[in-house]
Amino acid sequence: MDTATITGLRVEDAIAMPRADECVVAHARREEQYAVHVTRDADATDAALRERLDGVGTVAVIADETVDALYGVELRSRLRALDVDVLARTVPAGEHSKSLDRAVELWHWLAESPLGRRDLVLCFGGGVICDMGGWVASVYMRGVPYVNLPTTLLAMVDGALGGKVAVNHPVAKNLLGAFQQPAGVVCQLDLLRSLEARQLGAGIAECIKKGVIASPAYFAFIERAAPALMAGDASALEALVRAAAAIKTALIERDPYEVDLRRPLNFGHTIGHPLETVTGYAPLLHGEAVAFGMAVEATVAARRGWLDDHVLDRLLRLLDACGLPAHADALPPGVTADALITAMEKVRLIRAGSLRWVLPVALGETVIADDVTEAEVRAALADCGVR
């Protein structure tokens, strides 16, 4: 053969045969990075998206009906101006859309579309859309790139970051999912103008969590800025979102696939996720459930003598200042200690047979404990009004 005439990429290997008694060990390494842009308006968002759309022919936009009614026509027009073909699909707004049935509908839609493996899914909405859309993208064609364009504060500071994508199951929240990092995140702050104060508070809850576990300076900033944040002040929100991205991505980088389940980012979630399950996901926003979880879990730490009562009081006051539930009076009726503890047992299975509690001992310092007893949980719940 005249090898001089061969064109194309040339690959040459000479892999040795293994020994008869040799165990073959497979290796797979993957390192990913993505940019988190915090933008003030649509023009800045378009500039950020333009960087990611190089070589992309088709963008599939997944949004909920509420977001699409407000911003969908404008977004699709702007994307087409960036010289890509645009597909769009909406789902009903709310946590109930974060389901396997909706995900299957979206896979069927993509299967009938021209979207290719090098194209892009754009998740345009709150945490439900970022979680479900990311999971749909992670499974379709064994994974197509996706970008999160979050429209709620909660999604900007938490759900759009970190690559944990999933849908809910009646047995437990986020039971069906994967780890798939986004190809980019763009947080366009003027999209928050349509949010009511309750939605802002739910987002701030996840920021308070980050302050408690990792940044006393961030916690103090939220204390000072709480009135401005709840009023939707653009400068305060920009600082809040940018710092949340820096803190969460730094923490995620240590263990992006949760090989070690002892994670400070779970503060508030050991109670918060079961609370969402027993209330049927709908009455409480995720941030509200996490806020109550933080109150209970910090109370466990204080009852052990690990957390100073002054710090616990600061946390409870800040939750109240942001309109977040720290007591049963602010929860839907019918939440009982028995129901929460039963739901926690399913979480125990998901977390390798152990419930690991993130107990704060000071701002920026936590202990991961797996020896919290049911009696301790019931006592802390009672302190927070749940019996």
Q: Is 50 a catalytic residue?
A: no
State the Cα–Cα distance between residues 181 and 34, nearest whole angstrom: 8
Decide: 99 and 167 in contact? Cβ < 8 Å.
yes
Q: Is 258 a catalytic residue?
A: yes
Q: Quickly count helices (H) and strands (E) in the chain.
A: 14, 10
Q: Is 286 a catalytic residue?
A: yes
Which residue among 98, 210, 263, 273 is the active-site one? 273
CA atoms within 13 A on the CB side of 380: 26
Q: Is 19 a catalytic residue?
A: no
The 3 state secondary structure assigned to 179-237 is ECCCCEEEEEHHHHHHCCHHHHHHHHHHHHHHHHHHCHHHHHHHHHHHHHHHCCCHHHH
Among 213, 215, 144, 153, smallest CA distance to 188 is for 153
Q: Is 266 a catalytic residue?
A: yes
Which residue among 37, 173, 209, 248 is the active-site one? 248
Residue 284 one-letter amino acid: L
Structure tokens, 200: 């802002």
State the Cα–Cα distance between residues 270 and 231, nearest whole angstrom: 30
Q: Residues 319, 294, 281, CA angle at the centre, nearest 5°?
A: 90
Q: What is the DSSP letter of 369?
A: E
Which residue among 37, 76, 98, 164 is the active-site one? 164
Task: Enumerate the β-bridge partners of residue 125.
Answer: 150
Which residue among 19, 142, 254, 310 is the active-site one? 142
Which residue among 65, 105, 223, 258 is the active-site one? 258
Decide: 361 and 301 in contact? Cβ < 8 Å.
yes
Q: Is 376 a catalytic residue?
A: no
Residue 46 vs residues 53, 84, 156, 271: alpha-carbon distances, Å: 10, 12, 17, 39
Q: Is 310 a catalytic residue?
A: no
Which residue among 98, 209, 286, 356 is the active-site one? 286
Q: Residues 316, 190, 144, CA angle at the centre, nearest 5°?
A: 95
| CB neighbour list of residue 367: distance below 8 Å, 6 or more residues apart | 301, 306, 358, 359, 361
Q: Is 174 a catalytic residue?
A: no
Structure tokens, 287: 């941030």
Which residue among 78, 169, 198, 262 is the active-site one? 262
Residue 305 one-letter amino acid: G
State the Cα–Cα distance between residues 166 and 129, nearest whole angstrom: 10
Backbone CA torsion sign across 208, 150, 187, 73: negative
State the Cα–Cα distance between residues 385 and 275, nearest whole angstrom: 14
Q: Give the active site residues.
A: 142, 164, 206, 248, 258, 262, 266, 269, 273, 286
